[in-house]
Amino acid sequence: MKINPIIIIAGEPYGVFLELFFKIFRTKIIQKNKRTILLVGSKILILHQMKKFKYNFKINLINEKFINDEILDKSKINLINVDLNNIKNDNNTKNYIKECFNIGLSLMKKKYGFALINGPISKKKFLEKKFLGVTEYISHKTNSKKKEAMLIYGKKFSVSPITTHLPLKDVSKNINKNIIIQKITTINNFYKTRLNKKVKFAVCGLNPHCETIHKYSEEEKMIIPAIQILNKKKIIVDGPFSADTLFMKKNLKKYDVFIGMYHDQVLTPIKAILGFEAINVTLGIPFIRISPDHGPNFLMFGKNKSDPKSLIQSLTFLNEINDIQS
């Protein structure tokens, strides 16, 4: 049976991702995984970082135009080399990262890869305000605009923001009943098909205590009607709940996925509770895309102190989900 590899984009060249990758390369998470890893990044940078951190892994260079399963080798770093063009700082890396994504996305479009993992990048530098985040960038590149959903996944519980990297002043005008229905339906279908799990959703209100002094209530006009429609579709959704008490222990035991109206409303509690055990999964595109749920952390670059737990969780997750077309 053909086992498609996991495509990994190395992310910011001067972030901590390669350090994390080296830390887990010889561990059972890589060696005993049923899928091989294919890394997309700079050979020069990898060699430099291995020397710095005192690793001595062999590199198996792969030509993306002549690629097949037989030439991949689990004992080596399977690498598609992307030239850094002698970039010596983190201010001009946009073209390098763009080329890495182009190669990775091309392989996924050809259905060669099982899933795509990208190392963290600086959204401000790479996306230049053209996209809210990598979720929207990949949605655009895969012709899946407005179908995507961001799921911050953890084994104990998961969260999803209806809006992502928006200023708070823009949140209310970017949520509506149909968007809430679409994202929750997408997440529910993922759990059902990929994880064989029937999940319970808890939905946050937008306003503090789900109340407002204004005549227009987002809870009454958008959120409650969306929940009612989802319940009619046999999707278990409760709410709206006030976010300030929703993440208490009794609710973490009762619900599987918590839906927020804006980014920090639900990402703050999951990061506080799970730390690096959470991963960022993009749903609603033609394949599964994951990023470890932390940034490139330029300040920690080269210090060999970063925690690979989120990358481990990313690979563990891919080893557990059903091997079907999403």
DSSP codes, 4-33:
PPEEEE---TTSSHHHHHHHHHTSHHHHTS
pLDDT at 2: 60
Q: Hunting for tokens 């104990």 — which residue is that?
A: 156
pLDDT at 307: 80
For residue 106, give the DSSP letter: H
pLDDT at 273: 95
Class assignment of domain 1-148+284-326?
alpha beta
For the beta sheet containing 77-81, the strands, ordered from the edge strand earlier in sequence to the opposite edge, are: 59-61, 77-81, 37-41, 6-9, 115-118, 288-292, 279-283, 149-153, 158-161, 257-260, 200-204, 236-241
Which are the contacts of 74, defined by CB distance < 8 A and separation ≥ 6? 30, 31, 36, 37
224-232 helix and 177-194 helix, angle to the nearest 10 degrees: 40
Class assignment of domain 153-277?
alpha beta
Under 8 Å between Cβ of 35 and 6: yes
Q: Which helix (H) or strand (E) holds 321?
A: none
pLDDT at 65: 75
pLDDT at 116: 96
The segment(s) of the chain belonging to CATH 3.40.718.10 are 1-148+284-326, 153-277
| Mean pLDDT for back-to-back runs of 10 residues, the chain (326 residues) | 81 88 86 86 93 93 76 91 68 83 94 92 77 91 93 96 94 96 97 95 93 83 97 97 95 97 96 91 95 74 79 90 60
Which are the contacts of 257, defined by CB distance < 8 A and separation ≥ 6? 151, 157, 158, 159, 160, 187, 191, 199, 200, 201, 202
Under 8 Å between Cβ of 55 and 68: no
Beta bridge partners of 292: 279
Q: Hunting for tokens 């001595």 — which residue is that?
A: 56
Cα distances from 116 to residues 161, 182, 279, 281, in angstroms, run 21, 23, 13, 10
The dihedral built from the CA positions of residue 149, 267, 292 and 34, taken in this order, carries a sign that is: negative
pTM: 0.89
Of the candidates 240, 144, 252, 230, the one whose C-alpha atom is nearest the C-alpha of residue 184 is 230
pLDDT at 1: 42
- How far is the C-alpha of 243 from the C-alpha of 258, rounded, in Å? 10
pLDDT at 125: 73
